[in-house]
Structure 1
């Protein structure tokens, strides 16, 4: 079966299961027939990754028709996506290191507080790191702080030490970036998320009022 990569390659069930992963999306951006589940105010969906051109990885969001055509059961694709995400892995790195990696130029850190980027090695659909708590736990333990997490797109998240930032300001930045910088199809959420070391849980931040700099957890 061909899954809309606009070429004549055929994807069998085995090939699909070897290349399927989880990805997070804005629920308003997905069709109703996409196989997905709620995750906070986002949705987790299955995507088929395509690396035919190593310099231009592509993905196809799997829908119900694909599942039936390839005779893939829900438990099969869930297990395969989880295993593949773990195999590829994720990374959290200081912002200046992430920029240097892309540009090849050493960037000095002059930010008023540490900022980190969380994504996968390919930087494609890497915001799904939010589904794998161990990476957040490791960073929180390293910096000895809870985390304030801002989705910059479906491909990556920005992470801040919670004690050093005002969540209301981070929400304002996220919303402005989504309006002016992020492509509509790559927008993930206008929300900010809090990871608490004590409970090992991630939740959506709720501000008590627009001027409030503290946030509560929505369980």
Structure 2
């Protein structure tokens, strides 16, 4: 059974289990960097927001031996958990007053998302773009979100500047930035976080109020989801500069986090650009790539520069005017 046959089979079986006019259908969504994902969209009568359960992971499980019955059962359980824990009121989405406390933002690559950017309000951030969304639900490691498009902005009668001001304030509360050593990040990934190298329970150097010396650091948000946006949070880069007491490079490891490297005379911008490109090509899912080059933050001037390659192979920079 190939993926399309799998999707059709799942759709049919899920519909056999749904009642009360609730129906499931196959839905293809264009995600970050133009990548398409296929899922099951479950629509209920009178409900304007419908969850989509993406199928790629379930198909992989099916290919590895999970039965179709088990796949469908797991998807239905997931749908029920979303339906029961739904905390938003659809009426709130009709006015800006109803959503203004949940509007936040992400960073995406401008060149790779030009078609998507035509549909949504956005702001330029060097070669990246700020896009806005409503954080509807946070449940453990998963979130429910609504991308803000031009229709929403017209309905709410707001400007892009208002969205940015609101999102920047909300992000500090809903998705606070966290800055920690690479050693701590690796321990966190392995589930072995300890007291090493941290003064509080989160490992967040912003909260520790201590000076720290390490070769590499990680910047993300509390959820570790679209945490690269933290590099656009007001004052965050300045705070990192105060901790490191140096200029620093920002390596865009994915849309979810960036790696911070203190500037060092032995570091070469072009070499780091090559490293970022290689990691993106071999280690990062296409949908999660942010950029193929490094950025430089100058602590004394507060300037964020974009490191690229010119035709002569030399590193050149473009200053952020955001």
Number of the residue aligned with 2:221: 120
Bigger Cα displacement from structure 2, 38-47 vs 181-190:
181-190
Does the CA-based 8 Å contact 1:20-1:46 persist in structure 2? yes
Query: Equivalents in 2 of 1:53, 1:142: separation in Å?
Result: 32
Give 1:80's match in structure 2, choosing from 147, 166, 171.
166
Q: Which has the larger Rg?
A: 2
1:103-157 per-position Cα deviation (integer Å, ceiling 9, x unaligned): 2225999xxx611100111111111112135222222232221111011111111
Deviation at 1:207, TM superposition (A): 4.4
**1:44 aligned residue (118, 124, 130):** 130
User: Any gaps of 5 or more consecutive residues in structure 1?
Assistant: none
SS in 2 for 1:173: helix
Question: Relative to structure 2, which stretch is displaced further, 15-24 or 129-138?
Answer: 129-138
Q: Report the secondary structure of 1:118's partner residue.
A: strand
- Residues 5 and 60 in structure 1, CA contact (< 8 A), matched pair in contact too: no
Unaligned runs of 5+ in 2: 1-46, 53-81, 198-213
Contact 2:253 2:290 in 1 (8 A): yes
Q: Secondary structure at the match of 2:192?
A: coil
What is residue 271 of structure 2 aligned with on the other side? 169
Q: Which runs of 4+ in 1 moved over 3 A?
A: 1-9, 106-109, 206-210
- For 2:71, the equivalent position in structure 1 comes to none
- 1:182 pairs with one of 271, 281, 284: 284
Pairwise CA RMSD of aligned residues? 2.6
Distance in 2, matches of 1:127 and 1:155, equals 5
TM-score normalized by the length of structure 2: 0.59
8 Å contact 1:4–1:60 — kept in the other structure?
A: no
Alpha-carbon offset, residue 3 of structure 1 = 5.1
Aligned equivalents of 1:145 and 1:116: distance in 2? 13
TM-score by length of 1: 0.84
